[in-house]
Structure 1
Amino acid sequence: MSHSLHYQIRFDDKNHHCYNVQLSVPAHSGTKMILSLPAWIPGSYMIRDFAKNIVQLNANDDAGEALDVIALDKQRWQVMSSGQAFTLEYQVYAFDTSVRTAYLDNERAFFNGTSLFLQVEGFEDQPHRVTVDGQSAGAGWKVATGLPRLPGTDKYDFGDYQADNYAHLIDCPMEISDFDAIEFSVFGVPHHMILSGRHYADKDRLAKDVTKLCEHHIRLFSGKQAPQAPFDEYWFLTNILPQSFGGLEHKNSTALLCSTFDFPNPNKPEETSDNYQTLLSLIAHEYFHAWNVCRIKPKEFIPYQLDQESHTEQLWAYEGFTSYYDDFSLYRAGIIGFEDYLKLLSKTLTRVFRGQGETKQSVTQSSFYAWTKFYKQAEDAPDNIVSYYTKGAMIALWLDLSLRLESQGTISMDDMMRGLWREFGQKGVGTAPQDFIDMVRSLAGDKLAKELTELLYQAERLDLTALLGKVGVKLQKLRASLTSPTTIDEQRRCHPGFTFKPHAKGLEVTTVAEGSPAALAGINAEDVIIAVDTMAVSTDNLALVLDHQPQDASIPVHLFRDNVLKQMNLVLSQTPPNAIALEAKDPALANLWQQVIEE
């Protein structure tokens, strides 16, 4: 008697954006069976209630007789099966282009298992077979997934796939469309870059650069050992839309979202545009996660509890360390120069420096409250929270430089990552916050371990000026452009203290900085500013209007709040430093920083 579950996926209702799923459950003990969908997906820390997208759900026994299906709560159902085998048929509505859920139309299908595959209680550790039906697919569609293929199903084919267990099943998203496939090998491991959507990419250049990044990561975690990846193949499942960006990590794949013109231009083979750098950083980030969070992970995630929030104080290490290495690896791999890397690093430091959240929330608190404060940010976010991505990356930079300087260049952050991989990732043991502190102590002693503890648990500014100076990099705190918080504009005398976006009537305020001229004037988020100093304003001329005002002038601001016209008086003041600029002063010292130190 088979003990495996069998899912069959059809696309008959693709014009209605509904997957048709049939689940065959073998005979089992007990009179009833509990089925459920996860409430969240690993790597994206917010309750998403995937079960809300199930449209119909019916069960029948082998004789075709209907079985009672009882809803227990928002994500669980009970099937009165009497222990006999039964078949469940259900539809899943899928119209989300993000990397987290599922999408289906007549041109493309994509899904994460957390959106499509009902979990059957008692069968979680059994094999899960999936048949992807090609008869109902769109013209030219192929299948791309890290899910293992069964004999008789070739790469890119419709047919039969199988996961070792439910956790494995939901960790392998599928991209199904008439995509472009770029194949390349990294240390003997097949890699697949899947491009779904309109693009003009220089595919040879893309494969060459991504290969460099993958080689960097594999070498980093392998140390002096022969380069070895923790997977047998890897898939970059890339959906291309006019204006999109994002990624979600999995053990042997990643789902990526990018824009049409983020790729290298075949007509400009020497150019590495800002958009392309951003895409490569995203790719490097998600690939690094194959080690750091997919295998090295917090103890709270072993195993994942996907029916409710799973709080951890450690996301600063998993997202922060990864965010440090993503941009850094572009430089180390030779894709960008040091000056370009410093520009990327400046943007990271500026994102933390420009807000007050760093002084109100520690990175451990930021990690713990990811489910609400970070993933459900309100307009007060810059003033009251700090990102565990960016502040975590700053701590990784601090740690890397400190380890190198304390050891006279013999120990680095690379040793930290290899130690985490060896002691936790390869052994399947989860980390606790103290494990990072203890590892730093073993590498560099009590002093650095104590300093790390303070950085993790205190809400204070982390000033890297002196530390960067020791590796030949000058850090300056300057004024940013009014329209771009990461662009330096030292000519700017005043900044109103609000961010904005275009509005049909003028400018809609999105955030107001604490203590700024705008806050003191009583301007709120969601106000629509139509005039400053009686001049109609837009994204094009606001800076010009403000630049022509005398220092400390009190100028009228006319705005709509809840469709009621109001006037505020804005008193302009000198813009405080709100951006970070980095400059290489000693290339020889900087070169010591970027070296890969092997064990």
Structure 2
Amino acid sequence: APEANGVTEVRYDVTWDRETAERSEIHVEMSFRVDHDEPVALSLPAWTPGSYELDDFAQNVRSVRARQDGAEIFWDKADHDTWRVHPTGPGRVTLAFDYLADALDVGSAWSAPDFAFFNGTNLFPFPEGSGLEFGSEVRIHTEADWGVATGLTPDETASMSGASAARAAPGDGEGSDALDTRAYRADGYHELVDMPTFVGAFDVDSLRIDGRWYRLATYPEGALEGEPRELLWDQIEAMMPPMAAVTGRIPWESYTTLLVFDPGLAGGSALEHANSHLGAYHPQFIGTPILASITAHEIFHAWNVKRIRPADLWPYDYGRRMPTELLWISEGITDYYADLALVRGGIVPREVFYRMTGQKIGEVSDLQPVALEDASLSTWIGPRDGTSYVYYPKGSLAGLLLDILIRDASDNERSLDDVIETIYEEAYLQGRGFTEEE
């Protein structure tokens, strides 16, 4: 794997068991090899892509320690979210800490007595200095009777597949029979932190759709079962073909839907990732059209924003705000295609599509006028005038109007689908984001 600031053989060990659950903490250890005695700066992201707000995850870090080959070494802070470790020479260095997992938010980390979820942006520091292309291993240590669900690639060389795995302990390699270890790998930091993870007791099943595996993991156990679970599976199976037809490509080998249901939530939200999404809902969402709608929205995001992305967001910079005037394309047009997927897939009739469109018109009409570009830029500061998320409904309506204009100008030979496919080919497949001019 490429080096990062003279760092090689990067590994992250995550421990979540009944003991850490009592403290609502996840234990994290980042270890790597160095061939020098120069300080290494390790930073934690300030935000999770898709959640356009600064969360400063470093505020949840506690009990920091550093060691090299088993011996304690000196560390200090370089800034508010960067730790600096001081190797004594060549060897394997470890930064260890506990992370407070108490935020029931899809961009954060949360825990219950028998369950936790986290995003990679919460737990995984990166070495400053040489880019984010370095590969890494991830080892999750948990109870033998608990499961793990994640979009990360299993590392078959380090772990058996299935519920059990080779046993190992975090740190410098000392063995233990206390916990099971599940091993994964990532080819780069962007991939690493784009994979939300469930650990604990939850329901999970899978379905093969058009040659790809889809997995549904839900917490708590029994929250989504029977007919409501079958309904959601039927809806996912129905929405996938029309969404995939837009670009003619399914850019993942498998896709995981991770859902948490908790009566303490006032509503529901979800966050997109390249081959998964994480949703958190009040149980009243179960079996409703809104759950199908949000699911379609998040799955289409795997094309639009995770791959088709404004140049302002390419590549992600995890330490600062990344404002863009084009967020209405990433969110609003995704919302339009979520509605299209529901009607094209036969999940809802056309009349429901018309009604949803009318509701968006009413929602936008009730707000003070604001340009889509301005609303996109302002999302990072959360305007208090009611326009914080207007780029969703207004952007969706703009997508509808663009679709109508293209179809009208081409005698219905072309559509917005062709635009999406072209940008996918000419921007994403070329390894870049799209510009305003495009």
Do they superpose with TM above 0.5? yes
Residue aligned with 2:427, SS: helix
Residue aligned with 1:339, SS: helix
1:49 pairs, out of 31, 47, 56, with 56
- Cα distance, 1:412 vs. partner? 1.0
Is residue 348 of structure 2 the alignment partner of residue 322 of structure 1? no
Matched with 1:246 is 269
Larger Rg: 1
Q: How does 1:268-307 map to 2 (within 5 A)?
A: 276-307=288-319
Is residue 47 of structure 2 the alignment partner of residue 40 of structure 1? yes
Is residue 380 of structure 2 the alignment partner of residue 362 of structure 1? no
Q: Tell me, which stretches of 5 or more residues in structure 1 are unaligned?
A: 223-227, 265-275, 436-599
Is residue 421 of structure 2 the alignment partner of residue 415 of structure 1? no
Q: Deviations along 1:154-194, whole A, 9 cap, x unmatched?
A: 24554111111211110111011222223111210100011
Q: Deviations along 1:437-463, whole A, 9 cap, x unmatched?
A: xxxxxxxxxxxxxxxxxxxxxxxxxxx
- Cα distance, 1:126 vs. partner? 2.1
Is residue 152 of structure 2 the alignment partner of residue 147 of structure 1? yes
Whole-Å separation in 1 of the counterparts to 2:285 and 2:71: 53
Q: Deviations along 1:212-257, whole A, 9 cap, x unmatched?
A: 11122112210xxxxx310111100111112441111111111112
- Cα distance, 1:258 vs. partner? 2.1
Q: How does 1:100-179 map to 2 (within 5 A)?
A: 100-121=107-128, 122=130, 124-134=132-142, 137=143, 140-151=145-156, 152-155=159-162, 158-179=181-202
Could you tell me whether the CA contact under 8 Å between 1:245 and 1:257 is conserved in 2?
yes
- Cα distance, 1:262 vs. partner? 2.4
Matched with 2:25 is 18
Residue aligned with 2:324, SS: coil
Whole-Å separation in 2 of the counterparts to 1:350 and 1:337: 21
Matched with 2:168 is none
Could you tell me whether the CA contact under 8 Å between 1:32 and 1:83 is conserved in 2?
no
Residue aligned with 2:378, SS: helix
Matched with 1:231 is 252
Whole-Å separation in 1 of the counterparts to 2:326 and 2:193: 23
Matched with 1:567 is none
- Cα distance, 1:200 vs. partner? 4.6
Matched with 1:181 is 204
The amino acid that maps onto 1:204 is: E
- Cα distance, 1:28 vs. partner? 3.4
Matched with 2:224 is 199
Matched with 2:68 is 61
Matched with 2:430 is 427
Q: Deviations along 1:463-514, whole A, 9 cap, x unmatched?
A: xxxxxxxxxxxxxxxxxxxxxxxxxxxxxxxxxxxxxxxxxxxxxxxxxxxx
Whole-Å separation in 2 of the counterparts to 1:397 and 1:351: 16
Whole-Å separation in 2 of the counterparts to 1:161 and 1:96: 25
Could you tell me whether the CA contact under 8 Å between 1:61 and 1:67 is conserved in 2?
yes
Could you tell me whether the CA contact under 8 Å between 1:295 and 1:428 is conserved in 2?
no
Is residue 241 of structure 2 the alignment partner of residue 215 of structure 1? yes
Matched with 2:4 is none
Whole-Å separation in 1 of the counterparts to 2:235 and 2:54: 36
Whole-Å separation in 1 of the counterparts to 2:389 and 2:251: 32
Whole-Å separation in 1 of the counterparts to 2:85 and 2:124: 16
Whole-Å separation in 2 of the counterparts to 1:247 and 1:427: 29
The amino acid that maps onto 2:82 is: R
Whole-Å separation in 2 of the counterparts to 1:89 and 1:69: 11
Whole-Å separation in 1 of the counterparts to 2:145 and 2:401: 50
Cα 1:21–1:393 change in 2 (3 A) is same
Q: Deviations along 1:403-428, whole A, 9 cap, x unmatched?
A: 11121111111111111111112222
Q: Deviations along 1:107-154, whole A, 9 cap, x unmatched?
A: 2110001101111234732221111112xx3x8421000000011332
The amino acid that maps onto 1:195 is: T
* TM-score normalized by the length of structure 1: 0.65
Cα 1:349–1:3 change in 2 (3 A) is same
Whole-Å separation in 2 of the counterparts to 1:318 and 1:156: 37
The amino acid that maps onto 1:5 is: V
The amino acid that maps onto 2:425 is: R
The amino acid that maps onto 1:111 is: F
Residue aligned with 1:381, SS: coil
Matched with 1:3 is 8
Whole-Å separation in 1 of the counterparts to 2:37 and 2:410: 62
Could you tell me whether the CA contact under 8 Å between 1:182 and 1:207 is conserved in 2?
no
Residue aligned with 2:8, SS: coil
- Cα distance, 1:83 vs. partner? 4.3
Whole-Å separation in 2 of the counterparts to 1:105 and 1:298: 37
- Cα distance, 1:263 vs. partner? 2.8
Could you tell me whether the CA contact under 8 Å between 1:23 and 1:88 is conserved in 2?
yes
Matched with 2:173 is none
Residue aligned with 2:79, SS: coil
Whole-Å separation in 2 of the counterparts to 1:143 and 1:15: 19
2:78 pairs, out of 62, 72, 75, with 72
Whole-Å separation in 1 of the counterparts to 2:276 and 2:392: 21
* TM-score normalized by the length of structure 2: 0.89
Could you tell me whether the CA contact under 8 Å between 1:200 and 1:260 is conserved in 2?
no
1:313 pairs, out of 314, 321, 325, with 325
The amino acid that maps onto 1:402 is: L
Q: How does 1:464-503 map to 2 (within 5 A)?
A: none
Is residue 383 of structure 2 the alignment partner of residue 371 of structure 1? no
Whole-Å separation in 1 of the counterparts to 2:10 and 2:389: 44
Cα 1:5–1:320 change in 2 (3 A) is same
- Cα distance, 1:386 vs. partner? 6.7
RMSD across aligned positions (CA) = 1.9
- Cα distance, 1:201 vs. partner? 4.8
Q: How does 1:379-418 map to 2 (within 5 A)?
A: 380-381=385-386, 387-418=390-421
Could you tell me whether the CA contact under 8 Å between 1:201 and 1:263 is conserved in 2?
no
- Cα distance, 1:30 vs. partner? 5.2
Give identity over the alignment, percent.
29
